[in-house]
Structure 1
Amino acid sequence: MGRDAVSSSKLEAGDATLISQNVEHIKSTTVFISGNSTVAYGQESGSLNLFGIYDTFFEIGNLELETGRLLSEEDLSNKSKVVVIGSGALTTLFGEEAKATQAVGQSITVANKKMEIVGVLKENGGSAMGRMSYDDAAFTPYSTAESILGNQANMMIVVLMDDVDNLQTGMDDITSILRVQHKLKASQADDFRIFDPGSIVGAAQSSANTMSLLLVSIATIVLIVSGVGIMNVMFVTVAERTKEIGIAKAIGAQKQDILTQFLAESVILSIGGGMVGAILGQVIIPILNKFEGWYVVPSFSGVILAFTFSAAVGLFFGFYPALKASKLDPVDALRSE
C-alpha cells in the first residue's frame, strides 16, 4: 500500500471528502491538524506536537496502544478533553522511569486547558508523514484541537492507496481535484503540497547509509594509520633490544618464545590505545547528547568490539617486527651496540 499526504494551511475538511469520492484506488482517508503546544504535569513541562485527529488516524498511522484506550467517535462528537500520548511524551511529563499505566487517568495541562490522559501508545520510532515525531506527541479529538490550536493549526489529509503502483496516479488526480476546488488558475502555483512519506523516509535512509559508509571509511583509515604506527614502534623496539634478544637466545630462548613476546607487547600497546579511546568516548558522549538532534547510547558490545579490533590490529601489524626479532642470529645480535 502507498500513502500520500496533502499539507496546507488552506485545506478544509471538505477537501478530504472530495478526494475520497473522486480518486480511484483509495483504501482510506483521514484528516488531522497539528501544531506545537505547551504541555505540563506538575512541575514538569515541555513543548509537544499536538494532533487533532479522527478515530481512524491510529489505524492509518500504524500506531499501537500500550495501555488505556484510543480516541472514539464519542470523544469527537462531545469535544471531550482527553488525550492519548506517545512514549516520548510520557518520558517528558512523567520522567525516565515512568510506566504507561501510571499516566492513564492523570490530568495534564495542554495550552492552559485541563485534559485527561486516556491512553499511551507503544514506542513507534517513526514520524508523522515523515515529519513530526509520533512518540513526542499528544493526540486529542479533532473537534477539541480546533479550539486549542486555532489559526496556528496546519491541516493535513492522509490518503492510503490500495497499492503502491497507484501512488503516482493518485497524487496527480489529487493535485487536479484540489486545483479546481481551490479555483487556481493555470499560471498560479499550488496552494498545497503533496508528498509521499515513503520517499522522505527513503531519502533519510539513504543519507544515513552514506554517513555510515563515511564513518566506516574514516575508521578504516584510522586503523591502518594506527597499525602502521604500531609497526614502526615495534621495529624501533626490536632495533633497540637486539642485544637483549641475542642474550635470550644464547640462554635457550626459542624463535617461538621471541615471536610470542613481541606479539604480546604489540597487542598490549594496541589495546592500551583502545582503552584510551573507550575512556574518551565515555567522556565525549554525554557532551554530544546535550546538543539537540544528538542522542548516542554507548553499548557494552561496542566496547568489546573496539577492544577486539584493537587486539587484531596489534597482532596483524606487530607480526612482521616480531617475526624479524625471532629470526635474529644470536651471535650477530650479541655483537650489536
Structure 2
Amino acid sequence: MPATVYADYNATAPLRDVAVEAMSGAMRSVGNPSSVHGPGRTARAAIEKARAQVAALIGAAPQTIVFTSGGTEASALALKGAGRRRVVTSAVEHEAVLAAVPDAVRLPVDANGILDLDALRSALEADGGETLVSVQWANNETGALQPIEEIAALTRTFGALLHSDAVQAAGKLPLDVTAAGLDLLSLSAHKIGGPAGVGALYVREGLDLAAVQTGGGQEKGRRSGTENKIGIVGFGAAAGAARETLADWDRVAALRDRFEAAVRAAGPGARIFSAAAPRLPNTSCVSLSGVRGETQVIALDLAGIAVSSGSACSSGKVRRSHVLDAMDPGSADAETAIRVSLGWESIDEDVDRLVDAWCDLYNRASADTERSV
C-alpha cells in the first residue's frame, strides 16, 4: 500500500530531523539545569540556546521566553497570571483558551471568522484598564488570520493587555511580537516540527506575571518544575529550522490553492470557509453538503489520506465546530466540514492523491443525493 498522505499538520507536524538529532544528543547528557556543577551548567546552556532560538522565531529577546509543557499551559499561564480581573476573547478561540476562562466575554466574528473590532471597542470602553484581551493569531480550523496589529492598537488605547495564541501561526508566518504590540503570546513545539509536551509563553519585558505552577522557582519564578531539557532542546532546533525555511510556505500555499481549485471545480456542494479572508498558507476548511465530517475523515483515511474534522485537540470527541457555528450560526455546514492542513513535507503527488480521493467522495455523495430525490 502506498504511504499515507499526511495532511494534518495543524494537529501535529512531523518531527524535523534537526530536532531528532538535538534531542538525541540531549538524551545522552546528564545534568539538572538548576545545578551549579559542570553537568548542570551544560544542561542550562543547552536550555538557554533553545530559548534564544525560540525567541528569534518571534522577534523577541531570549529573557522574555518562559518554557511550559505546551501551548495549552502557556495560554493558561497568560490568562490566569496576568492579573487582570476581566478577560475578553473571540468566539472562535481554541478550546485551550475558552476552557481556561469559561466566564470570559466572547465577542462575535464575521462570516470569515474575523473579530468584530467595533464589538471589541465597546467591550474595552466598559472596563479596559482591568481587561486582558486574548485573540488567536491564526485559527486552527480555518486558518483565518486576525488583524493583530489593529487589535493591539485598540487594547493600548484603553489600557488593556493583549495575549495571542500563536500556536498555528508560528513557523508559518514571519512574526514580530514587538512590532505587533503584544504583551503575551503562546507557542507549541509540536506544531513546528518539535516534540509534543513542550511549549513557551512570551512575556513582554516589564510585565508582571504571577506563577500558576509554584515550587522550585524555575523559569525566573514564572513556571516551577525542572525544565524538560530534552523537549526544550528539540523545540529550539525546530524553531531554528522553521525560521530558516519560512519562504517554503509559498510553495505550500500553491499546493493548498491547487486543492481548493479542484474543490471549486467539483460543483456547488462544497464550501471553503474563510476563503475571502487572509489565511495561513497551508490550511483549507472544506464542507461537503450532506456528508458528516467524521464520515469524510474515515473515507479519506481508507484512501490513505490523513485529515481532520475540526480541531484534533479534544481527545477524539466528535461535535459541532464552535468555530464554524460562530461564523455561520445554525448552518449544517458546521457538521460537514473537514480540515486539510499541508506542510513542509507535502509534495505535488500528495495533492494529486488528495484531489482524486476528495473528488471521488464528492461524486459519490452527489450520486446518492440524486438517487434520493
- Structure showing the higher strand proportion among its residues: 1
TM-score (normalised: structure 2): 0.27
- Structure showing the higher helix proportion among its residues: 1
TM-score (normalised: structure 1): 0.29
